[in-house]
Structure 1
Amino acid sequence: MSSTKVVESKTGDQDVKVERGISQDEHARDLDEKARVIDYKAGAVEAENAEHNMGVLEAVRAYPMATFWAFIMSFTIIMESYDVFLCGNFIALPAFRQKYGVYIPETDKWVITTAWQSALQVSGQLGALIGVFLAGPLTSRIGYRWATLTGLMLLNAFIFVFYFAESLPVIFVSQILEGLPWGIFIANAPAYCSEIVPIKLRAPATQMLQWFWAIGSIIVGAVTYVYNPVLNDSAFKIPIALQWIFPTPLAILIFFAPESPWWLVRKGRLEEAAHSIGRLGRRSRLNVNENVAMMRRVVELEKTEKEPNFVELFKGTDLYRTLIVCGVYAAQNLTGNLIANQAVFFFEQAGVSVNTAFALGLITSGLQAIFVMLSWILTSYLGRRTIYLWGSAFNVVLLIALGIAASVGASVAASNAQASLGLIISVLFTLGPAPASWVIIGETSSIRLRPLTTGIGRASYYVVEIPLIFLSSFLLNPTGGNLGGKCGYVWGGTGLFCFVVAYFFLPEMRGRSYREIDILFKRQVPARQWKKTVVDVQDDE
């Protein structure tokens, strides 16, 4: 027996009907496939509705271990933060300057030359730039857990090079090597954190990255403040050795962490994905199979025959998504981040004493950690776009004010005003643009291309940061531009540019499922219309 399937096509102005026979078995299989798709879509809809209806506290109770594992993965960022701020503080550390610097008779000070100052601060970023390009393909192939474990073991080895270095060129090379695993951590952490938690926890889970960045700077600030009076090699050798505290304990914890269920679904490992979801949440509060179905629905929407590759990031709607991630990452360096990263040296150039500069640097880091926690609440309830835009606008005003304070002439009041504004800028940066950007980075990319998108996005961060480090060092250094607080004019101008671009092109993704985000990008909805655009729960595009 056979049945007939009629397929209609159109050629010119005429309808042409093409008939072909298919067996009864094939017809039955078609019906079974349709029924199966309907069944798993029903479960997907239920799971998505359940996530939308959860409050923040309910989401924490339903997914307690997801919160814990996001915390652990975010902890890897502390190592890049520690080392970035360590090199920045070494430039202001008397023992380090006496060993590796040059003497300036006019100021009666030892100073690391502008070229080496910039080189030391850029070396880790050069390594991380290579690392993020390795992270995408590596994570797509072996998963977030094993890629992160590989980075932790490499970091353990590379710290030896830094510790035993006796010259600036060797320190430079050691920082490039340490940067390789940093690139893996910074590419993987926001993607992993955004994938293991429900919608209502995506903001705090990804913003923990900024919190740990602040914690890293607190530890560095405390250590270098204690060793600031020491005038022998232990003043910088001990802070270097303290890096070994982190990798091995973290590697043990991450070995036992669940793999991202989204990554497992992408690989077709549905049973393992269900097991992973069960480990992340309470089985009594969620339906594991419905959650897997929700993930399958999104993965099927994005599915192609090709393996994910970097070329796809620059095609179709994925190009827009890639540009958002790259732009948000790059903007971190253009809206006050470089002042925050060089806070101690900035305070010195503003005219305060060395001890006061280190104390202010430590206070800045402590306030940053507090303000990041406040941003968890603001971003969860007010939205990513709102916090990002208003935070950026306020930062621009403060940066211009910093430039004005430095232009009124040399005085104690002017120095105090510059130091105060530098502290406020560094702190408020972690209330608005910085933490909001991590959420945007974690949500914007498609599930299929997420490891590659976060990698290329972080690469854009380093591509922008590396030349700007040289510029920033030149602007601040007494042997360079010696602008001090007048650099606020420069960063105020770049910050204003970032604000204008974000206003027109940054959409609001608060409360959106990954399916809804995919659909809104495919529909090419203008960024300012996202908040009021309704996506039906049954839509598949």
Structure 2
Amino acid sequence: MTLARGLRLYPKAIAWSVLLSSALVMEGYDLALLGSLYASPAFNKKFGSLTVSGSYKIPASWQSALSNGARAGEVIGLLINGVASDRWGYRKTMVAALTAMVAFIFVLFFAPNVETLVVGEVLCGSGLGIFQTLAVTYASEVCPVVLRPYLTTYINMCWVFGQFVASGVNRGAVQRHDQWAYKIPFAVQWAWPLPILIGCLFAPESPWWHVRHGDSEGARRALKRLTSGNDPDFSIDDTISMIEHTNELEKELSAGTSYRDCFKGIDLRRTEIVCGVWIVQTLCGTNIMGYSSYFLVQAGLPTVHSFDLSMGQLGLGLLGTLGSWFLMPHFGRRTLHFTGVSILCIIMFIVGCLGFSHASSSKWAVGAMLIVFTFVYDFTVGPVSYSLVSEMSSTRLKSKTVVLARCCYNISNIVVNVLTNYQLSSSSWNWGVRAAYFWAGTAFICAVWEYFRLPEPKGRTYSELDMLFEQRVSARKFKSTKVDPFNGDHQYAHPSEIMEDMSLDKFDNK
């Protein structure tokens, strides 16, 4: 299927996928919100403590508690989603999570102290954890192969857009000296759940979910709602047969849909790859990007200028995600991801070197390099990761594999948040800009792992990927190896051969 035909045939699937993925705007917003609020004087005065210098600061320990509270809540939400979406479906799980988010935001808005704020972050994090994996698995299942990279990477655009909105809201509120300097940013979070919730009430379920539950008629109804129906060459029955064939093939290769099955046989390698891809996101220096406003203030820039630079940085991030859509069809996921991590390693090394200069120009140079870092990240690692994690796991274990991967991401994020807060805090390690050296080293380790372990799924159907993993093809040979999942050594035939065998002239009069 060509891209043009996919767009004509699946406009409804694109719209529904975009709707559910928009919930990730809230995650990006929440992630950037705290990092930006740490640079807000009113927020520090309300929830921080007086330092010896006469200013108010949130201690590094409470910064870690706030940041890690959300990450811990996300792990809880991820584990809930792994069970709930498999049992009740993506739509019902999303509706329940959005409803809970509306209630949880009240805790943040009315928090009287930093302890209550941590509780609110944990509660909101549980909802965000459900959005993280549900959106990417839904997007990968309701669209054909040709649209898969665009709809899965769109999730990264939502994440960046959420950060951009957070920076803009904080930029407008940072100069206030009353409680609304931080209450307005918290209140803006109510703008997202309700409209998405209303849309999700009418969203179709994934046809793959119906097939996994033995409901072929439900899958057929869902597929009718996902396609335009104006292509005479498209057959809903053939597509359902393909989904059923892939499901049966995976049951033969590795039966089971539990978390334990993610660590058995060929699925162990697939789980490692999916977990590794998302861990790379945390270890390549992105936390410094997320704390850009705070980082730039520590580098010596005025608070208002640091917000201006961070907004420009995120604006380029949005353009970078759009750019990845044009590069992925030509270069593939592996090439873009590996190249991006390698470039980020070099940028972090340069930023670390700038930390030895005390000239005012070097402080602006740090800001410029962080803008370049964000552009490269959102051109490569950021969006491509979502495409990779949706393609590397088997369809029967997709929800649970992606949940495990995102749990690894959040656990590593907790560690990274603790390290970053202590690295940047003037009352702790006070590494300042030179903290970038540490992340340059971790980015180099990530690049080495990707070279040997990350396969190329470009243009492959789920059944082809199943066969490549079953044959234990090297990650570096995924792109060039030819497989035919319909004429291999397993027992399943091509759907056209099945129909031919079932034709009436094959049977006698009995």
TM-score band, normalised by shorter chain: over 0.9
Give the SS at the match of 1:482.
coil
Give the SS at the match of 2:50.
strand
Which residue of structure 2 lines up, in the alignment, with residue 365 of structure 1? 314
Candidates 68, 82, 93, aligned match of 2:40 = 93
Distance 1:70 1:479 in 2: 45
Give the drift of 1:161: 1.1
Which structure shows the bigger proportion of residues in strand conformation?
Answer: 1
Distance 1:516 1:489 in 2: 41
Which residue of structure 1 lines up, in the alignment, with residue 251 of structure 2? 303
Structure 1 residue 326 and structure 2 residue 272: aligned?
Answer: no
Which residue of structure 2 lines up, in the alignment, with residue 432 of structure 1? 380
Give the drift of 1:155: 0.7
Which residue of structure 1 lines up, in the alignment, with residue 2 of structure 2? 55
Which residue of structure 2 lines up, in the alignment, with residue 29 of structure 1? none
Give the SS at the match of 1:430.
helix
Residues 403, 487 of structure 1: 8 Å contact kept: yes
Candidates 146, 156, 176, aligned match of 1:210 = 156
Distance 1:310 1:527 in 2: 24
Which residue of structure 2 lines up, in the alignment, with residue 156 of structure 1? 102
Give the drift of 1:537: 5.3
Distance 2:484 2:107 in 1: 56
User: What are the residue-to-residue correspondences of 1:132-281 with 2, within 5 Å?
Assistant: 132-281=78-227
Give the drift of 1:293: 0.5
Percent identity for Structure 1 against Structure 2? 33
Give the drift of 1:484: 1.7
Distance 1:440 1:341 in 2: 22
Give the SS at the match of 2:159.
helix
Give the drift of 1:103: 3.0
Candidates 370, 382, 386, aligned match of 1:422 = 370
Residues 262, 268 of structure 2: 8 Å contact kept: yes
Residues 135, 184 of structure 1: 8 Å contact kept: yes
Give the drift of 1:307: 5.4
- What one-letter code is carried by the residue in structure 1 that aligns with 2:76? I
Q: Which has the larger radius of gyration?
A: 1
- What one-letter code is carried by the residue in structure 1 that aligns with 2:259? F
User: What are the residue-to-residue correspondences of 1:22-61 with 2, within 5 Å?
Assistant: 54-61=1-8
Residues 81, 403 of structure 2: 8 Å contact kept: yes
- What one-letter code is carried by the residue in structure 2 that aligns with 1:396? C
Which residue of structure 2 lines up, in the alignment, with residue 462 of structure 1? 410
Give deviations 1:321-359, integer Å, cap 9, x for gaps. 001111111110011210121111111112211000111
- What one-letter code is carried by the residue in structure 1 that aligns with 2:177? L
Query: In 2 relative to 1, CA 61–213 (structure 1 residues): closer, same or farther, beyond 3 Å?
Result: same
User: What are the residue-to-residue correspondences of 1:355-434 with 2, within 5 Å?
Assistant: 355-407=304-356, 409-434=357-382
Distance 1:383 1:281 in 2: 26
Which residue of structure 1 lines up, in the alignment, with residue 302 of structure 2? 353
Candidates 443, 454, 457, aligned match of 1:509 = 457
Q: Which runs of 4+ in 1 moved over 6 A?
A: none
Distance 1:167 1:121 in 2: 15
Give the drift of 1:282: 2.1
- What one-letter code is carried by the residue in structure 2 that aligns with 1:68? A
Distance 1:394 1:361 in 2: 20
Give the SS at the match of 1:392.
helix
Residues 467, 485 of structure 2: 8 Å contact kept: no
Give the SS at the match of 1:200.
coil
Give deviations 1:471-530, integer Å, cap 9, x for gaps. 001111111222222111100100000110011010000000000001100110000011
TM-score by length of 2: 0.93
- What one-letter code is carried by the residue in structure 2 that aligns with 1:84? L
Residues 371, 431 of structure 1: 8 Å contact kept: yes
Give the SS at the match of 2:434.
helix
- What one-letter code is carried by the residue in structure 2 that aligns with 1:293? S
Distance 1:435 1:95 in 2: 34
- What one-letter code is carried by the residue in structure 2 that aligns with 1:64? P
Moved more, 375-384 or 315-324: 375-384
- What one-letter code is carried by the residue in structure 1 that aligns with 2:229? R
Give deviations 1:355-376, integer Å, cap 9, x for gaps. 0011111111111111111111
Q: Tell me the matched-pair count.
A: 486
* Aligned Cα root-mean-square deviation (Å): 1.3
- What one-letter code is carried by the residue in structure 1 that aligns with 2:13? A
Distance 2:370 2:431 in 1: 14
Distance 1:165 1:536 in 2: 58
Give the drift of 1:379: 1.5
Residues 65, 279 of structure 1: 8 Å contact kept: yes
Distance 2:330 2:255 in 1: 38
- What one-letter code is carried by the residue in structure 1 that aligns with 2:345? V
Residues 336, 426 of structure 1: 8 Å contact kept: no
Give the SS at the match of 2:56.
strand
Which residue of structure 2 lines up, in the alignment, with residue 35 of structure 1? none
Which residue of structure 2 lines up, in the alignment, with residue 70 of structure 1? 17
Which residue of structure 2 lines up, in the alignment, with residue 104 of structure 1? 51
- What one-letter code is carried by the residue in structure 1 that aligns with 2:403? G
Distance 1:323 1:512 in 2: 19
Distance 2:370 2:182 in 1: 26
Gaps of 5+ in 1: 1-53
Query: In 2 relative to 1, CA 503–306 (structure 1 residues): closer, same or farther, beyond 3 Å?
Result: closer
Residues 339, 426 of structure 1: 8 Å contact kept: no
Which residue of structure 1 lines up, in the alignment, with residue 478 of structure 2? 530
Distance 2:277 2:33 in 1: 25
Give deviations 1:447-494, integer Å, cap 9, x for gaps. 101110111110000110101101001111111222222111100100
Give deviations 1:240-262, integer Å, cap 9, x for gaps. 11111111111110111111111
User: What are the residue-to-residue correspondences of 1:442-461 with 2, within 5 Å?
Assistant: 442-461=390-409
Give deviations 1:250-290, integer Å, cap 9, x for gaps. 11101111111111111111111111111111223221000
Distance 2:12 2:228 in 1: 8
Distance 1:446 1:289 in 2: 22
Candidates 81, 84, 92, aligned match of 2:31 = 84
Distance 1:84 1:401 in 2: 25
Give the SS at the match of 1:199.
coil
Distance 1:110 1:367 in 2: 32
Distance 1:92 1:482 in 2: 16
Give the drift of 1:208: 0.7
Give the drift of 1:65: 1.0
Give the drift of 1:398: 0.7
Distance 1:73 1:382 in 2: 28
TM-score by length of 1: 0.88
